[in-house]
Amino acid sequence: MVEEFWTSRDVLAHIRDFARARRAGPWGTLGVALARAVAAVPPTVTLPATVGGRMSLNLFAALAAPSGGGKGACEAAARDAVACSEDPTGLRVVEIPEYPLGSGEGIARTFRPAGVDDDEPNREDRALFSAPEVDTLTALFARSGSTLEGELRKLYSGETIGFNNAQKATRTVVPAHSYRACLMVGVQPLRAGALLDGADGGTPQRFLWLPVTDPDAPDEAPKDPGQWVVRMPQPTWAPGSLVIPDVAHAAIDSARLARLRGEPEDGSNLDGHALLTRLKVAAALMILDGRSVMNDDDWFKAGVVMAVSTSTRAGVQRAAAEQSRKANQARALAAAEREEAIADRKLQRARDAIIRWLERAGEHSNRELARRLKTDIREWLDPALAELEDEGIVLTSEAKQGGRRHRLADADSDGGTNGTPV
């Protein structure tokens, strides 16, 4: 099925071949290409109001690999592999500004710089944000008063973002569907906790998860096939909602109806936005194919991409869970070792105290020794006496009045008692 996916369309085969020519992962390269295709379309073009209101095409992708595993290679390959043109000649290529991910306020500032009005003709309306390492995202989420995670969730849906401060100079409100934003995040599986931990708020559900590896990479890299230019539909995209296939509408409506009725959902709690993300991927595949009307094949191919996404995310979850398990195991072992070391020290202190008091008094009963020992080592009296007796350092005898009395073994050579009851 995967091979059929790549060979079913010329543009998909091109992306795979280009990725391999550049030694980049085909799926990761496709994820970036899908996001760039979406970013080339005006923000006024949206998905229809199947559930609630219109929904943005904005697409997020998490490219999974160990540090240095190839996210940057996928981004660079996708940038060179495919370009979108606004005219039939293919000469007027859509430029997509790229920015590092910053604060929630910074995202809004990208589209509305300080002092710029909403109707400013030169206002930026599209951007591709990137966080090469998930640690960057973790650090940004952890900042005191950070609004980034909440703003990202709104960004995915194309909702109003920013903050309506009193002063115009600090006001950053960006109206819904007036901007196009896509996000690329490099995710190291062992460091993905911060992203996965946002499941309750819906953060990881909004990402398309793709690997940057290529297990079937050929020994010899194929020839670079050059750039593929997508000629956008003419006339240029008109504002409004895309037409989606009936099969997609039926799947989304059925899932929504089940949720409204409170029926159990299929899949994990990380699949809450799966159908919406699938619809966005279908739209991106449509764009790469140079069309403005989605068809059944776009929806089915998007299902293949989502299957890869689910598998990739599950692999990241397993790696993160195993890392957490090992960390917990190490902490438990360290705690046990600390407790053991403390016990050893207390036992030794009890031994030393017993010998010291027996040297001073010659003999002591259990009760007398217990009174002599400090409170924190009193419970170690019997174990310490047992060890000292086994080692022949202390001799114990039964007293005539009952109970047991103890003396040092070497006291016999100095005129002490010889072990008979006293």
DSSP output for 307-336: HHHHHHHHHHHHHHHHHHHHHHHHHHHHHH
Q: How confident is the model at residue 274 (pLDDT cuts 50, 70, 90)?
A: confident
The residue range of the domain holding 398 is 337-414
Residue 221 falls within a domain, yes or no?
A: yes
Boundary-marking domain end, from 294, 322, 354:
294
Q: Which of 77-81, 112-116, 248-252, 274-278 has the lowest mean pLDDT?
A: 112-116
Boundary-marking domain end, from 243, 271, 294:
294
Residue 356 falls within a domain, yes or no?
A: yes
* Percent of residues, the chain, with pLDDT higher than 90: 39
Same domain, 88 and 148: yes
Q: Which of 7-11, 158-162, 332-336 has the lowest mean pLDDT?
A: 332-336
Same domain, 359 and 256: no
Same domain, 395 and 268: no
Which of 88-92, 178-182, 390-394 ranks highest by mean pLDDT? 178-182
pLDDT at 417: 40
pLDDT at 117: 58
Residue 419 falls within a domain, yes or no?
A: no
- Which backbone phi and psi does 11 adopt, to 5 degrees? -70, -35
Residue 409's CB: how many other CB atoms inside 10 A? 16
Q: Which of 186, 158, 162 is nearest to 73 (CA)?
A: 186
288-315: average pLDDT: 93
Same domain, 186 and 281: yes
Q: What does the pLDDT look like over 361-411, one tens digit per residue? A: 888 888 888 888 898 898 889 899 888 998 889 888 887 776 788 889 886
Q: How confident is the model at residue 32 (pLDDT cuts 50, 70, 90)?
A: very high
Same domain, 288 and 365: no
Distance between CA atoms of residues 250 and 295, nearest Å: 14
pTM of the model: 0.75
Domain count within the chain: 2
Distance between CA atoms of residues 196 and 188, nearest Å: 12
pLDDT at 34: 97
Same domain, 345 and 284: no
Residue 42 falls within a domain, yes or no?
A: yes
